Structure 1
Amino acid sequence: MLRFLEVFAKGSQIHVPVGSPLIRKIPIFVDEHDVTAGAMKLIKVLRPAWDTSDVKTKLFTDGTTNKLVGCYVEDSPEDVVLVRVYGHKTELIVDRDNELKSFQVLHANGCAPRLYCTFLNGICYEFMQGDALGTQDVRDPSLRRLIAGEMARIHAIHAHNGCIPKPNLWIKMRRYFSLVATEFTDQASNVRIQQEVPSKAVLEQEMAWMKEHLSTLGSPVVLCHNDLLCKNIIHNEKDGHVRFIDYEYSSYNYQAFDIGNHFNEFAGMAELDYGLYPSREMQMDWLRVYLQAYKLFSQKGEEVSARELETLYVQVNKFALASHFFWGFWALIQAKYSTIDFDFLGYAVLRFNRYFETKPAAMALQIPQ
């Protein structure tokens, strides 16, 4: 109880709307090496009318945190149940309780699919119709506007029951750092970490500097997605909207972090290309649409001044630095524990390198007086 009060006092807790349905819990464990067999056990409970011999499955392979399979029958192909099995040791990097609360809050506000149940090592939820975007799609002018508007809608959601929300960026980054710090000892077994990743002292120094500098930029603390990579954006062309999926990292955070993180994701993930990072002109177009929508959703008018726009541009490009560090630490943890076939260590190195490359230009930016 004391721990709960401590978290509550910090204001980082997401509050589920009163009257939200209770989440169904099914006591089934799904083997991550045989997801389909476990998924069938869940389908028997969630869709008892389905004949399991008729159930089709589709394995999604884009994820770098979890295993995901879709289940459906040919008679109703629009009703796809997604079964997501949490990756090995992901409880170290993901607050599962917070994820479920985010899911509920976003669904109550029309921004997320239905959550059908939790099971012992995962969740089942509704499939969102549409196409996952790629690095070229997020640059498309019409899609950019839809994405900016949807992010504004989420940022304007009140999910804190009156208390002042606090960002969890620094707490989470510090926790990630403490998890990887053991790999930085002189006896650490991983030679690549020793040779390619900045030293523990340098990383700690940069973290302290970022917290001191970025905390003073005046970026509002809002409900953030925090992981808006291309594949987490679903475009429903028929209905003319985009929705965001995967809320594992959702929390209260700085508005500018969520946007800066999304801009970093323009580069992709499997084959990073920072030549795709949006130009100032592209960012200004995106940010103008975002600010108009955010002010509208927050009932603060719709007019956007040149000063507001420039301020957000500066905040976003400075907070993009923190995004590199956050996912750099995340990738180092994944390199140690994940069973997914991906060069997490190489990815961490690229993110830390990008931080040091872009820091001078980002620091030269000044918020207009």
Structure 2
Amino acid sequence: MCCSTLTSRTSLSQLTLHSTPEEDEKMANYIHVPEEAPAVPKMEVTVDESDYRSGALSLMKELRPNWKPSEVKLKFFTDGITNKLLGCYVGTALQDVVLVRIYGNKTELLIDRENEVKSFRVLHAHRCAPRLYCTFSNGLCYEFLQGTALEPQHIRSQPIFRLIARQLAKYHAIHAHNGWVPQSDLWLKMGKYFSLIPKHFTDPEQNARLKTEVPSPRCLREELLWLQQSLSVLGSPVVLCHNDLLCKNIIYNQQAGNVKFIDYEYAGYNYQAYDIGNHFNEFAGLNEVDYSRYPDRGFQLEWLRSYLEAYKEHKGQSRQVTDTQVELLYVQVNRFALASHFFWALWALIQAKFSTIDFDFLEYALVRFKQYFKMKAEVTTLTLPE
């Protein structure tokens, strides 16, 4: 496994042009919430991981005052590896369900919670997200969306992949406030993650794997610099992105014939091609990762054409899409898929140190790094169309 050779010994801070990191972060995080968006109350409630019910009932007392506490039922959802999620409801049918999401341990190191709430409210105002009912000391409550959380086999089926492409285009077409040109905070975020990766683990086996199987900090720094230098010049527009479009975050409502995306913790302004490349990486699944399921060129070209037609439509442009436009996006997406691997590998290393969720984060980091280096050799040969 070799790292990139840089033409100059550039530092992360030097790669940020024309502005300071503080200015960049302020601009990148400027998500304008429409004035008509409903206010989101903050409740001084903490939901204890060892006693969910009492905390959840305190929240329901405010959100659903007509519910009798003795009749409130809890349903646990176990798919997430960042947070813990439970649904509160009364009766036998899952009709009016309030979802209570409890933030994972130390996830504030990884996620800007204020930014998450802003993204939630913006997306809801554009009918792209459920209603956010409230935040509380260690989580938030929001509306339950009817439908099925998808699996890897679903997201490549003909009708569903087109719905996903068109819905993502709708996200990306949400315009920034008053014509302001947004900036991506991808490199700032990755730089922050890099500074947080653990230098050792208390568990001897984990520590041995960290020392022998994870690329060295010097190697990771060089790769991060190479990514920023080679990807930021590809011309991918910066748009409002979901940034975490894995299967379980896509809810398919067969009756309504639509898909909706959930979980906006990582949402924010980012490169269009990153969001799509990240989604394509998720075709491999999460618990049994298999990168042979990464979509091939033929599938991608179909997906990207559907996406571009919808994107141009939402932007008020002609729906006509040329082969060159599809090819350009194809190259950008597959290059940016590298950044997605690197981002989640760094993220998983940090989670391996702090998370209380039963998931082998260190192994996941190693899988993502391995695929990063494998894919790097393949996608660096792709060239932008003339």
TM-score range, shorter chain: over 0.9
Q: Which ranges of structure 1 fall in alignment gaps of 5 or more residues?
A: none
1:135–1:303 distance in 2 versus 1, CA, 3 Å = same
Q: Choose the corresponding residue for 2:355, options 338, 349, 363.
A: 338
Number of the residue aligned with 2:16: none
Partners of 1:35 and 1:85 within 8 A in 2:
no
Aligned-pair CA distance for 1:6: 3.4
Aligned-pair CA distance for 1:4: 12
Aligned-pair CA distance for 1:5: 8.6
Partners of 1:36 and 1:69 within 8 A in 2:
no
The 1-side partners of 2:71 and 2:182 are apart by: 47
Paired AA for residue 362 in structure 1: V
Written as runs of structure 1 = structure 2, the 5 A alignment for 1:165-184 is: 165-180=182-197, 182-183=199-200
Alignment pair present for 1:91 and 2:103 = no
Paired AA for residue 361 in structure 1: E
The 2-side partners of 1:342 and 1:206 are apart by: 26
Q: Choose the corresponding residue for 1:298, options 292, 315, 318.
A: 315
The 2-side partners of 1:164 and 1:7 are apart by: 12
Partners of 1:32 and 1:87 within 8 A in 2:
no
Partners of 1:235 and 1:242 within 8 A in 2:
yes
Partners of 2:32 and 2:118 within 8 A in 1:
yes
Partners of 2:245 and 2:275 within 8 A in 1:
yes
Aligned-pair CA distance for 1:54: 1.1
Normalised TM-score (structure 1): 0.95
Aligned-pair CA distance for 1:181: 5.6
| SS at structure 2 position matched to 1:124 | strand
Paired AA for residue 193 in structure 2: Y
The 2-side partners of 1:83 and 1:234 are apart by: 17
Partners of 1:166 and 1:221 within 8 A in 2:
yes
Q: Which ranges of structure 2 fall in alignment gaps of 5 or more residues?
A: 1-19
Percent identity of equivalent pairs: 58
The 2-side partners of 1:247 and 1:267 are apart by: 21
The 1-side partners of 2:376 and 2:227 are apart by: 10
Number of the residue aligned with 2:52: 35
Deviation string, structure 1 residues 281-332 (Cα, Å, up to 9, x no partner): 1111100000000000011210000100000000000000000000000000
Alignment pair present for 1:115 and 2:149 = no
Bigger Cα displacement from structure 2, 276-285 vs 76-85:
76-85
Alignment pair present for 1:265 and 2:282 = yes
Number of the residue aligned with 1:106: 123
The 1-side partners of 2:137 and 2:185 are apart by: 26
Aligned-pair CA distance for 1:145: 0.2
The 2-side partners of 1:118 and 1:327 are apart by: 26
Partners of 1:113 and 1:128 within 8 A in 2:
yes
The 2-side partners of 1:70 and 1:64 are apart by: 17
1:202–1:280 distance in 2 versus 1, CA, 3 Å = same
Normalised TM-score (structure 2): 0.91
Paired AA for residue 79 in structure 1: D
Number of paired residues?
Answer: 365
Paired AA for residue 158 in structure 1: H
The 2-side partners of 1:207 and 1:305 are apart by: 33
